[in-house]
Structure 1
Amino acid sequence: MNTIVHKADTRGHANHGWLNAHHTFSFANYHDPERVHFGVLRVLNDDVIQGGGGFGMHPHDNMEIITIPLQGALEHKDSMGNSGVIRKNEIQVMSAGTGVFHSEFNKSTSEAVNLLQIWVFPNKRDVEPRYEQIAFDPKERHNRLQQVLSPNPDDEGMWVYQDTWFHRGNLDQGFETRYQLKKKGNGLYLFVIEGEVTVANQSLERRDGMGIWNADQFQLQANTQAEVLLMEVPMDLAY
């Protein structure tokens, strides 16, 4: 088993006033050659957007983009004609494919929105762009790893053009579980949204991240009430 730990206070940080962003991997003006990606996981941004703030229309292509609001509501519009609001316990997926423009703004003028934006390299290039948004019942992840993303449109949760599986868990103190990787050769990146956990004998705190590869399974224990996001991804960047 190989592991790498990214403590919360080692992330890239940019505070623009309207946007307070933390970058687990190199992004925008933050560049660390040792932290460009984890397998096909390219971006893991922890953004706080102040009331009324947001990103105007901007382009993406050939990237799977996953947005997970943790607090507040995010308003989305795109060149495919989609328009809506994403709230806590909802997830949005956008396959940028041949190219898409979109904007993201805080729906509120007074309360901040906190979101995770995640980019994954796809296994197919130049697909027709697509959009998906689903609400998930938080009760289904109480002391359970709730699958929210997979490569299969017929499977539980949402899907992307990549052999990746995402799970979320809201865990009581003392709860233990084992995660079995679903595809041989994949790795897993675990992000602690809240609380403290121990993963493969490594203690992690709020907003810490840990990558694991060359392993088939590992043990996870909640040391406090905790919320976690598990992202299983291919380690090979080849299309």
Structure 2
Amino acid sequence: MANFLIHRADTRGKVDWGWLQSRHTFSFGGYYNPERMHFGVLRVINDDTVAEGRGFDKHPHDNMEIISIPLEGDLEHRDTLGNVAVIKQGDIQVMSAGTGIEHSEYNRNTDRLTKFLQIWIFPNRRNVKPRYDQMTMNVEGMKNRFQQILSPNADDDGVWIHQNAWFHLGKFDQGVTSEYKIKSKGNGVYAFIISGAATILGQPLTSRDGLGAWEIESLSIISDSPETQILLMEVPMDL
């Protein structure tokens, strides 16, 4: 029998800095919950809304795999490797912080908010050379199926990170059933409902709810609304 946990959207940590509205699935910054430290190597899921013309000034990271997925609007990225890029809805960005990198993130729009997911994963190799990458996802390929958007392999679909992890993203019509099979034995999977509603392991979930399951070989998912978007994050359970 599968082991699982549920994080309801309204139980997440809350941050309100005026220009930034954020919800933290796991302990982060000023939000600390000893029962919400991580799910395996999945350390952070921050659901951020950034005001027009505002953003995060240059700040450092090291030894973390950082993934950003815009949901609305766009975000300008600058880092100490010399990268200057804009990511928008339909893109995915990855940064291997490794030995150390500094970056900034800004909503350069003056007329709309930017909403994005920022996800941190502990790497399986420390002190690697920092790197940055981004890609535009095939949105049509997500219709009623899970499309791979991240893996451990540079020559596989999507971006890659230093970890035995896979991300898949899908958009489903109501009533569609799909099955996700674990790619690496011993891994767990964390499902984050970006929008809509779904039933996973018999549990009803709605927008911004999360369900983590482990000691499983597959996961059956039923879409319960006309436009359900789900992010699946398969990760090792051992740090």
TM-score bracket, normalised by the shorter chain, equals: over 0.9
Deviation at 1:112, TM superposition (A): 0.4
Secondary structure of the 2:232 match is strand
Equivalent position of 1:11 in the other structure: 12
Counterparts in 2 of 1:1-239, with a 5 A limit? 1-224=2-225, 225-237=227-239
Deviation at 1:137, TM superposition (A): 1.8
Secondary structure of the 2:208 match is coil
C-alpha contact 1:50 1:110 (8 A) present in aligned 2: no
Secondary structure of the 1:140 match is helix
Secondary structure of the 1:104 match is strand
Deviation at 1:116, TM superposition (A): 0.1
TM-score by length of 2: 0.98
Unaligned runs of 5+ in 2: none
Once superposed, which parts of structure 1, at least 4 consecutive aligned residues long, lie more than 2 Å away?
A: none
Whole-Å separation in 2 of the counterparts to 1:146 and 1:28:
32
Deviations 1:123-170 (A, max 9, x none): 000000000010012100000100000001111111000000000000
C-alpha contact 1:165 1:232 (8 A) present in aligned 2: yes
Unaligned runs of 5+ in 1: none
C-alpha contact 1:8 1:207 (8 A) present in aligned 2: yes
Whole-Å separation in 1 of the counterparts to 2:110 and 2:65:
29
Whole-Å separation in 2 of the counterparts to 1:89 and 1:135:
6
Cα-Cα RMSD: 0.5
Deviation at 1:218, TM superposition (A): 1.6
TM-score by length of 1: 0.98
Whole-Å separation in 2 of the counterparts to 1:90 and 1:14:
25
C-alpha contact 1:85 1:107 (8 A) present in aligned 2: no
Sequence identity, in percent? Answer: 54
Amino acid of the structure 2 residue aligned with 1:27: F
Deviation at 1:110, TM superposition (A): 2.4
